[in-house]
């Protein structure tokens, strides 16, 4: 593990970690199959639509809100663009409709099953939770996926707080989601460390709020991405085992 600032971090009161990419990998997942299952579930719930028209309208709504989510950093849950898709196709339905929630559960079922812990993930989380408070901060449009999957993977007991952009309303790197997490654990930014794999969302966001940061290589991001971003993490680790081995230096234990 390398230290970008050349010094070890002071003893901290809380560690926050990203989830997908950092703690988990998504394996053998196909979005096209999930969308087809979503369409089928909506049809069974009474929202009959022609599949090709549904896919076209869904794609337009998804792109519309993708821009909102990534440019304005305001999180928009899937139910919003699914309800807009159905309204475009002649149905009158609100995003809060329970049938949409049930359909989204079907939509994300395969994705939840695709998530698996990265090597050393549980060992790392257990060790951190024994030494200080531990929080999870995740960008995700449907919070039940995060809450359910951490239980399914057997790591829910390690977290003192779980903050999901769907529930917060703002996405990393927006300061609001980080400040909400700090408030939940009652710590200052200078007393916290963030571990993540996304240079912009995780590392830049945490640095902007005043946290120390640890970048970990993942299936999504590596050294080239970190260098390209221009962001300087306090520590860089090639995997979670290396971060575990360097915990004394990272959190001062």
pLDDT of residue 6: 46
Regarding pTM above 0.85, the answer is yes
**Could you tell me the end-to-end alpha-carbon distance of the chain, in angstroms, rounded to an integer?**
17
Separation of alpha carbons 163 and 65, rounded Å: 21
User: Which pLDDT tens digit goes with each residue over 121-153?
Assistant: 999 999 999 999 999 999 999 999 999 999 999
134 near 125, Cβ under 8 Å? yes
Separation of alpha carbons 145 and 30, rounded Å: 16
User: Which pLDDT tens digit goes with each residue over 171-185?
Assistant: 999 999 999 999 999
Q: For the purposes of burial, counting CB atoms within 10 Å of the CB of 5, is it exposed (0-12), middle (13-18) or buried (19 or more)?
A: exposed
Separation of alpha carbons 69 and 185, rounded Å: 26
pLDDT of residue 215: 98
Find, among 105, 94, 117, the residue nearest to 37 by Cα: 105
pLDDT of residue 7: 47
- Long-range contacts formed by 191-194: CB under 8 A, 24+ apart: 191/12, 191/13, 191/14, 192/12, 192/13, 192/14, 192/15, 192/16, 193/9, 193/12, 193/14, 193/15, 193/16, 193/234, 193/250, 193/251, 194/15, 194/16, 194/17, 194/18, 194/137
pLDDT of residue 11: 73
- Walking along the chain (253 residues) 10 residues at a time, the average pLDDT comes out as 54 94 93 94 97 96 96 97 97 96 97 97 98 97 98 98 98 98 97 98 98 97 96 96 94 78
pLDDT of residue 28: 86
């Amino acid at each position: 593990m390398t230290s970008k600032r050349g010094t070890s971090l002071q003893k901290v009161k809380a560690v926050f970690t990203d989830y997908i990419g950092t703690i988990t990998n998504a394996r053998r997942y196909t979005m096209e199959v999930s969308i087809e299952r979503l369409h089928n579930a909506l049809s069974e719930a009474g929202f009959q639509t022609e599949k090709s028209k549904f896919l076209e309208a869904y794609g337009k709504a998804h792109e519309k809100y993708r821009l909102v989510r990534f440019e304005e950093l305001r999180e928009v849950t899937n139910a919003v663009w699914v309800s807009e898709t159905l309204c475009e196709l002649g149905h009158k339905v609100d995003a809060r409709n329970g049938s949409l929630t049930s359909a989204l559960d079907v939509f994300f079922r395969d994705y939840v099953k695709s998530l698996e812990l990265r090597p050393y993930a549980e060992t790392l989380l257990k060790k951190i939770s024994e030494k200080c408070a531990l929080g999870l901060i995740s960008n995700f449009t449907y919070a039940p996926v995060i809450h359910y999957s951490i239980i399914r993977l057997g790591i829910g007991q390690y977290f003192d707080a779980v903050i999901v952009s769907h529930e917060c309303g703002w996405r990393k790197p927006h300061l609001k989601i980080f400040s909400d997490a700090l408030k939940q654990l009652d710590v200052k930014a200078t007393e916290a460390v963030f571990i993540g794999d996304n240079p912009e969302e995780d590392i830049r966001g945490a640095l902007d709020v005043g946290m120390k940061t640890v970048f970990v290589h993942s299936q999504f991001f590596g050294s080239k991405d970190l260098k390209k971003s221009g962001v300087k993490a306090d520590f860089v680790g090639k995997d979670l085992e290396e971060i575990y081995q360097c915990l004394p230096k990272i959190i001062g234990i």
